Amino acid sequence: MEIRNIVRSFGGQRVVDDVSLRVMPGQVTCLLGPSGCGKSTTLRMIAGVEMQDSGEIYVDGKLICDTVFRIPPERRHIGLMFQDFALFPHLSVGENVAFGLKGAKDEKRARVEELLDKVGLKRFIDSFPYLLSGGEQQRVALARALAPRPKIMLMDEPFSGLDNRLRDDIRDQTLELLKEEDAAVLLVTHEPEEAMRMADEIALMRKGKIVQQGAPYNIYNAPIDKSAVAFFSDINVIRGTVKGALTDTPFGQFLAPGVPDGAQVDIVIRPQHLKIDFDRAGKGPLPTPQDGVAARGEVVRARFMGSESLVEIRMDFDGSILKATVPNVFLPKPGKPLWLMFRRDRCFVFPAGKGAH
């Protein structure tokens, strides 16, 4: 499935602004972005329930929609799964799954049984939906969407109605089934964890545009700007001024290649990549090439978060507060002096102010 240069405006504002995207069979692409950035509108245009102002949509290399030509939604062979896409309450589970199927009765029954078996719900084939839990209903909805073997599956926040622990299981099971069925999947979500868990490829969307696209690993480890880092985790930011492609900070020098002298840069680091060390009679650890220079601060607050502890430290050099996370339990008392170092291989240096939240 491919969309090219799709644009859609509401009230003079471009909510989808020149979006192009390709999704291959057997691949899950997540359209990830904050609420209101235009993800659902993009999906609705592909589904055919919303018309684009300009741009084209292709399936299997064939045009299915531009501003003149338009295949109606029911003939696009696209599977849909939305959070509030309820099952038909007056039909049994089996009849729900069979709903979009054509062909002989036996064949339909076999396909329904196959899919319900795959989602582990064959025993409910003759039950009514209200007897099933939310997670089970969601799995039936998935089976129903996949039953007619759509080439493309569009999913809009399909798991957001489920509670956390259930959600992880259902995500994994859904992913397995989608792969087996070899559909090209476009999944919309505003949750980075969901995208990281589900996606082969993430398209990061902001204000109607795709700002970065790539494998989850690349998006996480080579983010395009400060906001892209901040979308996935808490961040710490140190500002510095560049001289000779370097910027001096209390944590030592950082490379700022290509940034002109006098310009400001933001050095961005995630809390899990700050290194904490103890104070030894007013002294910290020695500088290293990997971690730079240590800077001293005092603990403001430390909290246990489950698998890690979050320590907030007020830095001596400017009174700013940096956040560091440490695996397991580490709960130093407020006022305790500690030293922080920046792991050089985990820092990102961006021109200051680029990529507003």
Ligand X SMILES: Nc1ncnc2c1ncn2[C@@H]1O[C@H](COP(=O)(O)OP(=O)(O)OP(=O)(O)O)[C@@H](O)[C@H]1O
Per DSSP, the residues of 106-140 read: HHHHHHHHHHHHHTT-GGGTTS-GGGS-HHHHHHH
Task: Pick the closest to residue 121 from 152, 149, 143, 103 (CA basis).
Answer: 143
Could you say which of 15, 80, 155, 259 contacts ligand X (CB under 6 A)? 15
Task: Pick the closest to residue 195 from 165, 157, 237, 226 (CA basis).
Answer: 157
Distance in Å, CB of 278 to ligand X, minimum = 44
The reply to whether 10 sits near ligand X by the rule CB under 6 A is yes
Provide the CA 262 distance to its chain's centre, in angstroms.
35
End-to-end alpha carbon distance in the chain: 30
The reply to whether 12 sits near ligand X by the rule CB under 6 A is no
Q: Which of the ranges 35-43, 144-152, 297-305, 309-317 carries the binding residues for ligand X, by CB under 6 A?
A: 35-43
CA pair distance 82, 161, nearest whole angstrom: 10
The reply to whether 36 sits near ligand X by the rule CB under 6 A is yes
Q: Which of the ranges 37-45, 215-223, 242-250, 309-317 carries the binding residues for ligand X, by CB under 6 A?
A: 37-45
The reply to whether 226 sits near ligand X by the rule CB under 6 A is no
CA pair distance 229, 270, nearest whole angstrom: 8
The reply to whether 38 sits near ligand X by the rule CB under 6 A is yes
The reply to whether 238 sits near ligand X by the rule CB under 6 A is no
The reply to whether 39 sits near ligand X by the rule CB under 6 A is yes
| Residue whose CB is less far from ligand X, 206 or 270 | 206
Distance in Å, CB of 210 to ligand X, minimum = 12
Kindly state the tokens that stand for 327.
């695996």
CA pair distance 235, 343, nearest whole angstrom: 14
Q: Which of the ranges 29-37, 54-62, 135-143, 265-273 carries the binding residues for ligand X, by CB under 6 A?
A: 29-37
Q: Which residues pair with 32 in a beta bridge?
A: 189, 204
Kindly state the tokens that stand for 28.
């899950």
The reply to whether 190 sits near ligand X by the rule CB under 6 A is yes
Could you say which of 6, 19, 21, 37 contacts ligand X (CB under 6 A)? 37
Site residues for ligand X per CB under 6 A: 10, 15, 33, 35-41, 190
